[in-house]
Amino acid sequence: MANQKLKICFVLDHPLHHYRVVFFKKLLESGVDLTIFHPGVAGEYSFKDFSVPMKRKWGFICVPYIPFDKFDVVVHMQNLRMMSLWKSLISSNAVFTWGIGTSSAKGLGSENKLIRVLRNSVILFTKRTFFYSNFPVPLVPNSLRHKVRVAINTVHVDSNFYCLNQGALRNKILCIGTLNERKGLRYVFESFAELAEKNPDIRHEFGVDVVGDGPEYERLVDLAKKLGIDQCVTFFGRITDEVEKAEIYSRALVSCSPCQAGLSVLESLGHGVPFLTLRSAISGGEHFNIESGETGWLVDDIDSLTRHLEYILSHKDELLRMGDASYRWYQEFGTVDKMVAPFLEEFENVKAKKKTKI
């Protein structure tokens, strides 16, 4: 009985994305019995995963029955619209929640007081709550903060990529991820065109690489032509092969996504590429990992974004230094191991309590 594996289940509000698999594999390698419930297509993994249909009704997300009581620990996404979250709180096991910790669609910390009260009520009934970043911690009452831990939201980047690409020619502004309007990539194009108008050499010495697909693809292609920079912009489409992606990162001076900055921030830093975005960017808090002037910049408006791009294109040596600082920051603070560690510590605490009961 003492050697029995701890049974853990995660309930996701989104399909199991490829970039999350490493995180779950590392949890599994710790010796737990791991099951993932999610609304995507079930895959073939070393851990168990089940596809569960999630239907929206009256603003809520209805989830089929999940046998919470069969698990020692339930880790549920902190999505207040999911009915399964509220059901999990009355189960007899240890319940953890995991997520951004606040509404993010209109900017972090913008949620109304009622939602904040509901969110804190969930924390009250959980054993532990994990946030993606430190940002929402001050929003939690002092009496509940002992239940809160931060597990950095990140992705795996092979450290060998940066080491192997040290001698690469870096002369690109990189835009990577799903191409949607809220990313604000048109501002990157417009800024680049403005700078190229002021200094024609920019057209020959630098360029913009766009990796990803999405509803904005055709509009961005047309915009590049309209601005007269289509010869400077390369569209690669969606790339999931890590080696191919690393080659593109190796040519980047900076990654830029003005209005939305999520996990691409961590991926960029892991590849030794500083990140430029707006301070008000839509984010789960990942952009707060940027140290302005050291691993990238958080800027206040589009005019400032243009000025920083101008600086970047005229201070390559400084950007190479910042790239090295970005890589070192990721290795020290941003790896998936850093994300896994708080979960493993809390799982061990649950296991220790089970032993004392036996």
User: Domain boundaries in the chain?
Assistant: 7-153+335-357, 159-334
CA gap 218, 215 in Å, rounded: 7
What pLDDT is stored for residue 319 in this prediction?
Answer: 94
CA gap 288, 284 in Å, rounded: 9
pTM score: 0.92
What pLDDT is stored for residue 334 in this prediction?
Answer: 97
Question: Going by CATH, does the domain composed of 159-334 fall within 3.40.50.2000?
Answer: yes
What pLDDT is stored for residue 357 in this prediction?
Answer: 67
Specify the 3-state DSSP secondary structure of 225. helix
pLDDT band at 4 (very low <50, low <70, confident <90, very high): confident
- C-alpha pair distances (Å), 263 with each of 108, 182, 221, 287: 15, 15, 24, 9
Output the average pLDDT for the chain: 93
What pLDDT is stored for residue 213 in this prediction?
Answer: 96
Taking CB atoms within 8 Å and a gap of at least 24, the contacts of 221-226 are 223/186, 223/189, 224/189
| 7-153+335-357 CATH choice from 3.40.50.970, 3.40.30.10, 3.40.50.2000, 3.30.230.80 | 3.40.50.2000
pLDDT tens digits, 126-172:
999 999 999 999 999 999 999 999 999 999 999 888 766 665 689 99
